Structures are given as C-alpha cells and as structure tokens.
Amino acid sequence: MNFDHIDIIQSLIDGVLFGSIYALIGLGFTLIFGAMHKLNLAYAASGIAGAYAGLMSLTILGLPALMAFFIGPITAGIIGLLLYFACFRFMPRGNHLAPLMASIGALFFIDEVIIHETSGSPLSFPAVLPDAYFFLGEFGIRGDLLIVMGFSFILMAIVMLLLYRTKLGLGTRATSQQPVAALLCGIPTHRTNGTTFVLAGVLGGFAGCLLAASVGVLSPLLTLPLTIKGLIVTVIGGLGSIRGAIIAGFAVGAAEGLFLLVRGVNERDIYVFLLLFLFLVFRPNGLFGTTINRD
Amino acid sequence: MLSVNNLVTSYGLIKALKGVSIEAKQGDVTCILGPNGAGKTTLMFTLAGILSEDAGSVSLLGHSLNGLGAPKVLRQGLALVPENRLVFADMSVHENLLAGAFTQSRAMAAQVSDDIDKMYTRFPILKARHDQPAGTLSGGEQQMLALARALMSRPSILLMDEPSVGLSPLIVDEIFAIIKQLNEDGMSILLVEQNATKALQVADYFYLLDQGKVTFSGTPDQLKDDDVIKRAYLGGS
C-alpha cells in the first residue's frame, strides 16, 4: 500500500465533498420516510430522470447550461408527485409491502424509459467550473465539488427553514408523527404528503444534476447505485432523522473516498455496502434514529 | 346542537356502530358510557370525520357533517381530544398549540397568539413547559396539552374520548375540574368515559353504548336509578 497521510486526508476531503450529493439523496429519502414511514425506492431514479430532463432542455431546446439545474429539479418534483399518487396515495394503509413493491416497479419503469430513450448510452452532462482547482496547503480541492457542496448546504438550509419555520413544515412534521392527530388539527395530510414528495423530488432532481455535473456524464447505470447509496445513508443516519441523513451522507462520502484509496475502485462499493450490514446488525436505529410511536 | 341519527360505521364486514342516535345540547356536557369494544371511539372518530359512516346522518348547528373529512369537520366547529392524547411528541408544547390552530388563516395570527396566551393562562403548566418536547410531559400534562390543542381551533363543541384513561386519581380530579370549568365558560362537551362516578360530577345527560347500540339514555338521576348501570358502572349492588 503506497500512500501516506496526505493521500488519506486528500481522499477524505474528496469523499466529504462528494458526500454532499449523498446527503441530499438521503435527506429526500428521509423526508418521504418521515412523512409516511414508507420507503420510496424510485426516489433516486426520479432524481436521475429529472437530470435527464434538464439535459434534454439543453440539447433539444438549446437553453443555457444552468437551466438544467432549474428544469431538472422541477421535472423530478413532478415525477415525485406522480410517484406519490401511483405508489402510495391509494395503497391500503396497513399494507406496507404494497407501496414498497410499487416503488420498486416504478424504479425499473423509470430506468427502462431512460434506457429506451437513450439506447442505454451515457450522455455528456455539462460540468460546473470544470477547470477550477484550488490548493489548500498540500491538499487540492476540486472547484466543481466545492460548488456542489455549497449548493447542497443551501438546499439543506432551505429544507430546514421550510420544515421548522413555515406552516407547511409544521403540518409536515405533525403528519409524520401522528397522522390521525394531524387530521384532527385540520391538517390536510394527503396534501401535506403530496407536497413532501414534491419537495423531496426537487431535492433529488438537484442531486441528480449535481451528480451528473460532477462526474461529467449521465447514464441509466447511475440510478441503482444512487438508490442504494441513498438507502445506506438513510439507514446509517437513522430512518426518519434529517440530521442523521445529512451527517451520514458526508460520512458515507468520506468512507467511500477512503475505500477508493485503500482498496481501489473495483472494491470500493463492497466496503460501503458492508457498512450498511454493520449498522443493521450493531446499530439498527442508525446514528440518530429513534423509535416513534404513531397512532 | 349536535345531532346524530341512525349512524352505522363498519370495519370491513364488522359493524361497529349499528344505528346510533344521540343528541348533544348546546351548553351541556353529554356523556357516553360504555364498556370496552362498545364502539365509543368508533363513534368519536366517525363524528370527527376520521372514519366514514356507512349510513345515518350527523349535523352540527343544522349543518350536515356527513362525508366532510376531519379537516372540514373541524372547520365546522367540532374538535376531538382523542383517547391517549396523541400529542406530537417531538414537537414543543408551543408548536403543538400552533398545530391546533392550523385551520386559522395567516390573517388571524394575532388571534392565534391571543388564544395561545389564553391557553397558557388556563393551563399554567403548559406555559412553564412551552419549549419542551411534548413527549417529555407527564400523562396529565399531555392530556391538558391535547385539550388546549383542540381548543385552539375555537370549536363550538368539544368531543373528549376517555380523558381519564391511564391517569392517576389526583390528575383525573384535575382533568374533570377543567372539564367543569370549560363547560361553565360556555363550552358544549360530548364526553366518552368509563369512569361513571367522575362523569356524574360533570354530565347533564347520559347515553349508554353497548355493542354498537344505545341501550340507555337519561339524566344523571335516571342513570343512578338504573340497577343494571348501577351494578356495572357505579359499584352499586
């Protein structure tokens, strides 16, 4: 093993910067899980689909590159709402398997549509500041990843403001804790859940665009790894914990950077997935998960 | 004021309410007694719009509540304090009260603020705990919070589902004193209770619900004179 502490710290920096995308995806999974106590496995795919829509707006309509970051999240938000209606809204309340299976079906449906439309070929996605590279002492920092991280922080701050400083957020948090009591307070829980899916979808769309911009390509092969990484982040952070999802996103990014350095790109994901098993066995509630008794 | 006629509610093939008819008069405390499984909570949830009725009618001050759904029923003036309180455990006491005022528009922010002050005056312990997560309150405090939260919607009638359940005798006394005070302040109350002795201290009229049907209705004196009820609910022989 031919690396020193500089390499290790550099890998951690790169991993944490990239982890902000995982934090966004984990935050979206968490918002949906928090609202309905159900997993939407088509969530990351909807983010990637949004990124494709953003890319199409550039290639077909000839819009400026930045518009991808506007069209992509909006499209992903709309897909989020469609997923809510198709996979969750009308499913029997007591049947937890039905929405899970429906969302797996939606994941493959979205994947197939993307493959059909692109013939499965990766497409170039415009990078944000592709040539920017900064030095911090002995460490190098990719400018595009720095922007991705800054943008992710802004989005997280907006979500936190929405959740903790608005009436919508009050309704969302109340619905997630006690849906029956929320109804008794006059909170339209179905509308609140639908709004949560849109909000999470928008976050996923941003994450999809940021991921594509940072790796430079958009490919249907991104949906499954992003789904699994999102789930890992959600479980490690603690199902339903917003703070946990954000911290776990950066932690998983850092671990991924470290595994990449130590074991190489071929084995990196094996160790990341191993983290999931370790948490499920030794700390199933994740870093910040709590058991919430709902009616 | 609240008129319920031949209400039928089912869970699948099982009929939980089999044609319930009750009347709650304005300014009264109307109490529904009944054993476990009698359909009391089903009745409360149907009246509040959480469950849909199969048949029958519900009206409040002449307005039909049938098929409205919980948020619209609340807007019509019927609020329910559910059994086991169901406070929003991770939210602060203050946020729970704000959630209770969810149906109030932004233009009424000053009124909501006034109402919260009134709740803090009526329930001083809630003021002392205003920034504490509701899940950390004692059972009695949570019951007061659930009651205050329901009052935040400014209801015409307040439904209370077994407010004494799981509370110590001292706290039950306190809760019933609050119910009495609320009624004296003009609030109409429909109370579901198994503790008939306590209910007798506050109620103006009683119904007995058993296996989804009303099997008795009468004044507190008539209730006390009924041998079956006396044996079952008042510890008489």
Look at residue A81 and tell me if it is in a domain.
yes
The pLDDT-based confidence of A294 (bands split at 50, 70, 90) is very low
- Domain enclosing residue A163, as ranges: 25-221
* Owning domain of residue B77: 2-233
Please give the residue of chain B at the shortest CA–CA distance from A167: B102
The whole-angstrom separation of Cα A60 and Cα A232 is 35
Using CB atoms, which residue from A174, A186, A295 is nearest to B103?
A: A186
Does residue A185 form part of some domain?
yes
Give the DSSP H or E segment for B118: helix B109-122
Q: pLDDT digit string (tens) for A210-269?
A: 999 988 899 998 999 899 999 999 999 988 888 889 999 999 999 999 999 988 888 888
CB of B187 within 8 Å of any CB in chain A?
no
Domain count, chain A: 1
ipTM above 0.90, yes or no: yes
Look up the CATH number of the domain holding residue B114. Answer: 3.40.50.300
Reported as a single tens digit per residue, the pLDDT across B174-189 is: 999 999 999 999 999 9
Q: Is residue A34 part of a domain?
A: yes
Min Cα–Cα distance to chain A from B226, Å: 35
B49, B88, B103 ranked by CB distance to A181: nearest: B88
Q: pLDDT by residue (tens digit) across B25-65?
A: 999 999 999 888 889 999 999 999 999 999 999 999 989 99
Q: Is 70 exceeded by the pLDDT of residue B81? A: yes
Domain count, chain B: 1
For residue A4, give how far its alpha carbon lies from the nearest alpha carbon of chain B (Å). 45
Count of beta carbons in the 10 Å neighbourhood of residue A172: 24
**Three-class HEC string of chain A:** CCCCHHHHHHHHHHHHHHHHHHHHHHHHHHHHHHHHCCCCCCHHHHHHHHHHHHHHHHHCCCCCHHHHHHHHHHHHHHHHHHHHHHHHHCCCCCCCHHHHHHHHHHHHHHHHHHHHHHCCCCEECCCCCCCCEEEECCEEEEHHHHHHHHHHHHHHHHHHHHHHHCHHHHHHHHHHHCHHHHHHCCCCHHHHHHHHHHHHHHHHHHHHHHHHHHHCEECHHHHHHHHHHHHHHHHHHCCCCHHHHHHHHHHHHHHHHHHHHHHCHHHHHHHHHHHHHHHHHHCCCCCCCCCCCCC
d(CA A27, CA A130): 27
- Indicate whether A260 belongs to any domain: no
A196, part of any domain: yes
- CB burial of residue B158 (10 Å; 0-12, 13-18, 19+): buried
The shortest C-alpha distance from B104 to chain A (Å) reads 9
Q: Is residue A126 part of a domain?
A: yes
Q: Say what the pLDDT of residue A290 is.
A: 61
Q: Taking CA atoms, what residue in A is nearest to B99? A: A185
Q: Contact at 8 Å (CB) between B234 and B196?
A: yes
Chain A: nearest CA to B236, how far in angstroms? 36
- Domain membership of residue A127 (yes or no) is yes
Asked whether residue A213 is assigned to any structural domain, the reply reads: yes
**Selected residue of B80, B86, B106, B153 to mutate for chain A interface (largest A Cβ count, 10 A):** B86
Q: Does B125 touch chain A (CB under 8 A)?
A: no
Does any CB of chain A come closer than 8 Å to the CB of residue B75? yes
* Token output for B103: 């149906």
Do residues B54 and B9 make contact, with C-beta atoms less than 8 angstroms apart?
A: yes
